Structures are given as structure tokens and as C-alpha cells.
Structure 1
């Protein structure tokens, strides 16, 4: 997927710069495996990497369900794992594994920050929630509900959907009758963008659409098009065109965007 390619390219850039610096008495090599955003595939990839004695550390997954599945493998083999974007709290908070770390905010921190903006500062109190029923989406929805209640907001409805859902109109028609001020989406880019586009088609463009980093990808704008307006995402750090990373990434000749997780994968190296 695009977000994975952007992260891989960024890690490659960091490796190229490290090797060119002359600071290390060895050459760093990057070996890439595709977890396909699937826990079973991710575990197989983790076992393959951990079985190679030359692998000293792994920059791991975007997808939280995959990270939850592989964390025990990396611990069992004693291989250091640094996550640039998996935000499910239990990946790090749910164990005492010394090999596991992340350099991004987790789900709890993201939702606290986001709800502070959309509820406390912008004043949106009446909400509906749509979330995918993966471990990631379910955790997102639970954190959102808890923090929304703590801040005095009201949840009018919540609907779980399967990953891969394409038609949100039945859910949206039901939500429209409830007249929420905003819709929370707990899931990933493709489904969120389709939902936002269908909101626009149903005349619900005046309703705020909010989510966290699962939505933070160039793919969201590509799918949603002009309907992306009115979306608020708690995303990764946005870098300007004058940043050293962006300049180096462009100079390296990568054709794909570095995506939201690229700078984090770069820093993880």
C-alpha cells in the first residue's frame, strides 16, 4: 500500500545517508518484508526476519492488529522492534517487553489531543461514531467514547463496519435523521474516504468528520476528492517543503509520496 511504500522509501533514505556519512565501521543494509496489513502474514514475515542472525532490529508495522500479533515474536527472539506508526496502546502498554518501542503517540494520546480540539475548543458536542471492528478500530471507538463522555459530549449512535466496506449509505441515512454535529470515524484511510465522499453525496457535507492517524494518508484526498473538505485528522507531524527530510527525499528520486509515516520511519532508523 502507498503508506507502506512511503515508509520503506524513507527508511531507505536514512540507510543511504548513514552509510554515506562514514560514521560507522560497517555497512547498514535494509531488508523489506510486506506484512500486507494481515496479522498472519506479519507473523510469517517477523519469523523470517528474526530467523536471520544478521537482522539486528526491525522498523515495524503501520497496522496495529499486525503489531499486536508480531510483538511476541520479536520478544521471543530478542530482536529490537521500533514502530513508527502503530498506535494501539497494548502494543507497548500491554506487556513489559524491553525490545519493543515506538516513536509515535499512541491511541490514547491521539484521542485526548483530538477531542480537546473538536469538543473543548471547537464546541462540537453531538456525535455519531462509525468504526471498523478490527482490534484497531474497536480500540479507537472505545477511546473516543470514553474521552467524549469525560468532556461532556453526547454519542447519538455507533455503528461497527467490516474492513473493506464500500457502501456507507444505509448507516449515513440513519445518522442523518439524528442530526449530529459531527461524525467520528475509527478505522483506516480507504473506508474513511469512501464514507466522507458518500456523506457529501447525501448532502451531509456540513457535518464535521473526525478521526486519528489511521486516516492520515494522501490516499484519503485522492479517494474523497473535493468531499475531503470538513475533515479533521489528528495526524503525524506535517513537514514543510523547506525541511531537510523533504529536500533529501525529493533529491533521492523516489516517485511515491513519503506519506504521514515516512519521517517517523526515517527517524526510527
Structure 2
């Protein structure tokens, strides 16, 4: 009886550390959270699918950590793209005994959630949150695998003025940490390049009626509209621009280079829309095509947007644990900070702030109903 109680206590202790006893393997829980419901849920599901593939591949390799074969398990939570829900989800993941987190999607959710993870000493890698504030907080446990808004906004603002020769620019944002941050950085870069911001408008991330905002912009005679927001709103916006006869180029800075945008806008209204996106085009990624083939085979879907970065974020955690020979966050966190490996999306390595050293960006344009690559900015340290 005493022996049974001792084993039970040991199992409980391991569970609290994120490790549970299984037949011949130690279970290591990796947390995942993103918006997986509502208008933007397709982004989160795309990300979760990639994380599942990474976990499946890692288990197939029978990786040994601390002398035992690791059985990695993904613990997923839908944060609904809501900051308050995100904080609650973060605490649930901590309480579940995860040893690291891949997520979140929205900057406005990642930022408050990061405080929960930092307090618990758990590494967090976001595959999609671009607001500079995420890593500017100074938490040693917080990382991201894409460009910041400052980088993307600089590319977009400079291109709009110098390459497109936009003379009168209107800027709209969705009032989220991502949308407003991106719009602010775009405006800063456009002004620095000599551009003229003739209208600065905002909406919400729930709105699909932009008639009043676009009417004001039409009166301002803008020749380019930059929208800080995602595809579920950019699509209706493009359609309403067409209906109102707003003859301006619509440009984004990450978030609506998807088929969903074209479907919502309609091919005629989508034509000519431009958007900067994180990373390389899938076909240019070192192993992008291989990942897409796996996504199609397992889930019947193409890569949407952030799945390559999610796959790499998951492997960054696993590789760091392997390198440190431990799933204890205190032990493997230093190894994560120094990680450097060839990922699906490119070379994965972090700066001392937790940002990407080699983050690339690509510019796309809708031509004949399809997104085509126009330009690539290769990442550098």
C-alpha cells in the first residue's frame, strides 16, 4: 500500500511539471492557443493543424529527453481573439502543466497572455503576433517567429510612396493592437518617404459596413487606402469601394492575402489589391511545399497564412528541450534563446529581445482573381 501511494505521489509531481507517466514514455505537454472560432477562426485552425503535424513528426522520431522517449501532446485552447479570454486561457494552460506555449494569433491577446506565461516561467512563441509591444515588455520568455509591425509598416509605407507614387493616402485601422499598430507604422514610414496622409479613419474588428468611412475617404480624394486589419473585413471593404466608385489602391500590411479575401470581395472588386505579408511565399520557403503537401494529406487544406511559422515555433520548443536534454522550462529556456536551425519558413534564430533575426516579407497583388508575388524582402540580422 505504501509503495502504491509513493507511485501515486510521483505521478502527481510529474504531472504538475508537465510530465506524466505513460507506458515507456514521458508525456510532455505543449500548449497552443489562437482564435479558432468566429470570423477569423480559419487562421487559428490553420495554425493548430501545423502544430499537430509537428507534434506527430516529433513523436515518430522517438526523441529522448532526460533519458526517456518523449511523448509530446498538444493542449489546444480557443482564445476567441479576445484579450480577457486569452488571459483566462493562458492561466488554464499554465494550470494544465504545459511546459511551453505556441501562440497566440492576435497581438491584443498575446500581449496580456504573455504576462501570465512570464510569471509562470513558461516560454511563449507567437507565430503571428506582430505588435512590437509583445517583445518590448522585456520578458525573457517571450518570442515571435514573424516580422514586427515596425518592419512591415516600413516596407509598406515606403513602397506606397516611392514605388506606387501615391500622392494622397488614407489610412484605416480596426482598433486592434495589430491593426492600429500596423497602421501607425505604415503612416510613419509613408510620411518619412514624403507621403501625404489625407485621412485617418478607424472601424472595429467586428464591422462589415464601411460605407461612411469610405465616403469620407472618397471626399478626401485618396489614391491609396491602407487598411490595418484582416481578410474578413478587407473583403467587404474592397467590395464597398467598388460600389462607391472609390478609385484608390487598397493595400494591407499582413492579414488578408488569402482566398477568403477574394471570395468576400468578389474577383472584380479584389483586382489590383496589394498586401505585404510575413515571410516568403510558400513555394519559396525551404520546405514550404513539403508542409503544404502534409497539410493537404492530413487535413485536406492548403497553407492559409501562419501554419509554416506555427510549425517552426513548435519545433523550436522541441529542439530547445532536446538540446537542453530537459523539458523543465527553467533548464531549456536558455537553449531556446540561442536556438538556430533551418525551419520550414526559413532560418529560425532570435535576437536578444525575442524577435526574429532573419524575418522575410513578401508583397502580393491580386491579378486575374489570384494573389501573385511582386516583391520579396529577404530577412537579415
TM-superposed CA distance for 1:167, in Å, is: 1.5
Answer whether contact 2:224 2:250 (CA < 8 A) is retained: yes
Q: Deviations over 1:211-256 (max 9, x none)?
A: 111324432122112122121111133212982111222222x034
Tell me the number of residue pairs that the alignment of Structure 1 and Structure 2 aligns: 265
1:249 aligned to 2:295?
Answer: yes
Q: 1:5 aligns with which of 31, 45, 48?
A: 45
Distance in 2 (alpha carbons) for counterparts of 1:81 and 1:7: 15
Distance in 1 (alpha carbons) for counterparts of 2:151 and 2:57: 32
Q: 1:29 aligns with which of 58, 73, 79?
A: 73
TM-superposed CA distance for 1:22, in Å, is: 3.0
Q: TM-score, normalised by structure 1?
A: 0.93
Matches within 5 A, 1:191-210: 191-204=233-246, 206-210=247-251
TM-superposed CA distance for 1:104, in Å, is: 0.3
**2:27 aligned residue:** none
Q: Which one has a larger percent strand, Structure 1 or Structure 2?
A: 2
Matches within 5 A, 1:69-218: 69-93=112-136, 95-204=137-246, 206-218=247-259
TM-superposed CA distance for 1:43, in Å, is: 0.7
Q: Deviations over 1:30-75 (max 9, x none)?
A: 111000000111111100011122x111101111110111110010
The farther-off stretch of 235-244 and 149-158 is 235-244
Distance in 2 (alpha carbons) for counterparts of 1:257 and 1:78: 35
Distance in 2 (alpha carbons) for counterparts of 1:247 and 1:163: 32
1:16 aligned to 2:61?
Answer: no
Structure 2 SS opposite 1:158: strand
Q: 2:305 aligns with which of 247, 251, 260?
A: 260
TM-superposed CA distance for 1:189, in Å, is: 2.1
Larger radius of gyration: 2
Answer whether contact 2:126 2:143 (CA < 8 A) is retained: yes
**2:274 aligned residue:** 232
TM-superposed CA distance for 1:151, in Å, is: 0.6
The farther-off stretch of 74-83 and 229-238 is 229-238
CA separation of 1:82 and 1:9: change in aligned 2, threshold 3 A: same
CA separation of 1:243 and 1:134: change in aligned 2, threshold 3 A: closer
Q: Deviations over 1:122-179 (max 9, x none)?
A: 2223201111223332222221221111010000111111221221112212211222
Distance in 2 (alpha carbons) for counterparts of 1:195 and 1:145: 19
TM-superposed CA distance for 1:113, in Å, is: 1.5
Computed over aligned residues only, the root mean square deviation of the Cα atoms, in angstroms, reads: 1.6
Structure 1 SS opposite 2:72: coil
Answer whether contact 1:60 1:82 (CA < 8 A) is retained: yes
**1:220 aligned residue:** 261
**2:376 aligned residue:** none
Distance in 2 (alpha carbons) for counterparts of 1:193 and 1:28: 38
Structure 1 alignment gaps of length 5 or more: none
TM-superposed CA distance for 1:119, in Å, is: 1.9
Q: Deviations over 1:178-220 (max 9, x none)?
A: 221100111222222111111112222x411111113244321
